[in-house]
């Protein structure tokens, strides 16, 4: 019976997604172990963004990125800001920098047998991480975030290869595609040193892959780690801290955090992120085991529903959750509760 059940799930996958179905645009982040000698791109200072229309788009992208709450109720449905996970305004290596992502799209995705543009990847962030509503294709905010990402990537490459002058401007349509395409204009000084494939896998892209823990991760041990090292900022209830109506310190679970479709709900992704980037400013280093344990603890709480949910937790779990996460599974905190059943609303109106 069980075998039959999983073969049905396999059919779901092989059929691909119908036009009305939400595509999975938060597949597992590619992660590789950190290389101690890696040279990371160093994008230019914000003060060098050029004057004029193109520069205005880049600046707008930066502003949306660090204060995403200005899109609350239009595209954002929780209290997060992009910068909560992409440290230093999307500029920091090993914190999923925008320059790394920009050069990796468009990307072919086996899962839906489709080439995803950069714009579509950003739409995925709004649908899942921001528990919101994806801005329409070509909309001002997608152009702005793409322009900012492009500017970081191109200025970083130009700095690395000693190319002077302003970052070449591109049209909105080109900006939205991403940098992983044959017709993407790259200076010869770059293409002579790096091929397209290398550019999609720049050091510092995504979050660095953390070694497996010695012991299987434990939500119970994770709670102790949380109380000792996370609670001071994220609160004893994981709801962060609001100041002047803005969650300066982000909620990690519950109705105001990322939903069950977001990449961060995976225990491995969260462990990678936490080990590398937390606590903010790196005043101390968690052990590998602590990072896994606390990632499990954070992600063993209820959060907003997976936007691909069609009324059956088990089906959503079978189709989209064959990975390291707690969706559709008994809560390790209270086994009588199946996570996802009491999920919070998708894209709720703010309170």
The residues of the shown chain that bind another protein, judged by CB under 8 A, are: 46-47, 49, 59, 62-67, 81, 83, 87-89, 91-92, 229, 231-233, 241-244, 246, 248-249, 279-284
Report, in Å, the least distance between residue 62 CB and another protein. 6
Q: Which is nearer to another protein, 87 or 107 (CB)?
A: 87
Quote the least distance from Cβ 236 to another protein, whole Å. 11
At its nearest, how many Å lie between another protein and the CB of residue 342?
27
User: Could you give the C-alpha distances from 126 to 37, 62, 83, 132, 267, in angstroms and in order?
Assistant: 34, 16, 13, 5, 20
CA–CA separation, 287 vs 281, rounded Å?
A: 16
Cis peptide leading into 302, omega within 30 of 0?
Answer: no
Give whichever of 28 and 285 is closer to another protein, judged by the CB atom.
Answer: 285
Instruction: Give the residue among 118, 103, 85, 84 at the shortest CA–CA distance from 43.
Output: 103
Q: Using the 8-state DSSP alphabet, how is residue 241 labeled?
A: E
End-to-end CA separation in angstroms for the chain: 45
Q: In this complex, which beta carbon is closest to another protein, that of residue 142 or of residue 313?
A: 142
Cβ atoms of 298 and 226 within 8 Å: the answer is yes
Contacts of 194 (CB under 8 A, 6+ apart): none
Cβ closest to another protein, residue 110 vs residue 282: 282
The crossing angle, in degrees rounded to 10, of helices 313-320 and 2-15 is: 60
Distance of CA 147 to the CA centre of its chain: 18
Tell me the sheet residues that pair with 289: none
For residue 246, the minimal CB distance to another protein (Å) is: 6
The structure tokens listed for 195 are 């091929």
Choose between 42 and 112: whose C-beta lies nearer to another protein. 42
In whole angstroms, how close is the CB of 157 to another protein at the nearest point? Answer: 19
Question: Would you say 211 or 246 has its CB closer to another protein?
Answer: 246
Report the relative pairing of strands 246-249 and 241-243 from DSSP bridges.
Answer: antiparallel
The residue (of 249 and 318) whose beta carbon lies closer to another protein is 249
Phi and psi angles of residue 111, each rounded to the nearest 5 degrees, phi first: -55, -45
Considering beta carbons, is residue 49 or 296 the nearer one to another protein? Answer: 49
Residue 47 CA to residue 45 CA, distance in Å, equals: 5
What is the nearest approach in angstroms of another protein to the Cβ of residue 55?
Answer: 10
Do 266 and 321 meet the contact criterion of CB atoms below 8 Å apart? Answer: no
Q: How far is the CB of 127 from another protein (least distance, A)?
A: 22
Shortest Å distance, C-beta 314 to another protein: 40
Name the nearest CA neighbour of 22 among 348, 346, 322. 346
Report the alpha-carbon distance of residue 331 to residue 123 in Å, rounded: 30
Give whole-number Cα distances, 210 to 215, 217, 292, 295, 321, in Å: 14, 13, 9, 12, 21
Shortest CB 145 distance to another protein, Å: 13
At closest approach, how far in Å is the CB of 258 from another protein? Answer: 18
Q: Name which of 55 and 254 has its Cβ closer to another protein.
A: 55
Specify the length of the chain in residues: 351
Output 71 or 296, the one with its CB closest to another protein.
71
Residue with tokens 């709900």: 265
């Amino acid at each position: 019976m069980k075998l039959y059940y999983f073969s049905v799930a396999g059919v779901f996958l092989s059929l691909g997604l119908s036009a009305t179905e939400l595509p999975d645009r938060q597949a597992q982040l590619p992660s590789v172990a950190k290389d101690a000698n890696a040279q990371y791109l160093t994008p230019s200072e914000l003060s060098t963004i050029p004057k004029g229309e193109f520069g205005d788009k880049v600046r707008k992208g930066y502003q949306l990125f660090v204060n995403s709450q200005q899109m609350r109720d239009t595209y954002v449905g929780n209290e997060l800001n992009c910068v909560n996970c992409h440290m230093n305004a999307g500029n920091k290596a090993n914190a999923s920098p925008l320059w790394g992502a920009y050069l990796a799209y468009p990307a072919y995705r086996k899962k839906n047998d489709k080439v995803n543009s950069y714009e579509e990847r950003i739409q995925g962030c709004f649908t899942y991480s921001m528990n919101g509503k994806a801005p329409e294709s070509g909309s001002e905010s997608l152009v702005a975030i793409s322009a900012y990402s492009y500017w970081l990537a191109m200025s970083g490459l130009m700095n690395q290869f000693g190319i002077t002058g302003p970052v070449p401007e591109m049209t909105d349509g080109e900006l939205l595609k991403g940098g992983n395409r044959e017709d993407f204009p790259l200076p010869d000084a770059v293409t002579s040193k790096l091929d397209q494939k290398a550019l999609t896998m720049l050091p510092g892209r995504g979050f660095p892959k953390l070694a497996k823990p010695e012991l299987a991760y434990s939500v119970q041990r994770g709670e102790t780690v949380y109380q000792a090292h996370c609670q001071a900022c994220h609160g004893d209830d994981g709801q962060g801290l609001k100041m002047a109506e803005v969650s300066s310190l982000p909620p990690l679970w519950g109705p105001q955090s990322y939903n069950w479709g977001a990449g961060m709900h995976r225990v491995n992704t969260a462990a990678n992120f936490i080990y590398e980037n937390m606590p903010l400013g790196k005043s101390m280093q968690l052990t590998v085991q602590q990072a896994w344990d606390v990632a499990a603890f954070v992600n063993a709480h209820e959060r907003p529903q997976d936007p691909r949910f069609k009324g059956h937790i088990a089906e959503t779990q079978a189709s989209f959750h064959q990975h390291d996460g707690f969706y559709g599974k008994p809560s390790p905190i209270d086994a009588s509760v199946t996570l996802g059943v009491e999920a919070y609303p998708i894209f709720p109106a703010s309170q």
